[in-house]
Amino acid sequence: MAVFVDDARIPWRGQRWSHMVADTAQELHGAADALGLKREWVQDKGRTLHYDLPDWLRERAIAMGVAAPIHWRELVRRRADARRLAERPSGPSA
């Protein structure tokens, strides 16, 4: 499984919210479809493509097997690793 939901639980509008992310946009949107989320709810503001999930929907995603739980620090580490890989120069070095 390459879809994850973190445990950030950020308070906003009377609920606590976490982030659902995936290795690919296709996997992320597939998980969102399984949860009944609208495509226009995806977040992509210069950071990792993700959907914000309130606690009840986070728990549903995990229970349905749509997403695996991940600690928010692990998610940050993975994003940093992916960024470093993307910034590596390609081709032979001089």
Total domains in the chain come to: 1
Contacts of residue 1, defined as CB under 8 A and 6 or more positions apart, other chains included, come to 65, 67, 68
In-domain check, residue 53: yes
pTM of structure: 0.82
In-domain check, residue 66: yes
**How open is the CA angle 10-34-22, to the nearest 5 degrees?**
55
In-domain check, residue 10: yes
In-domain check, residue 50: yes
In-domain check, residue 92: no
Q: Which residue has the higher pLDDT, 1 or 55?
A: 55
In-domain check, residue 25: yes
Tens of pLDDT along 10-50?
999 999 999 999 989 999 999 999 999 999 999 987 678 99
For residue 55, what are the domain limits?
A: 3-87
Q: Is the pLDDT of residue 93 over 60?
A: no
In-domain check, residue 56: yes
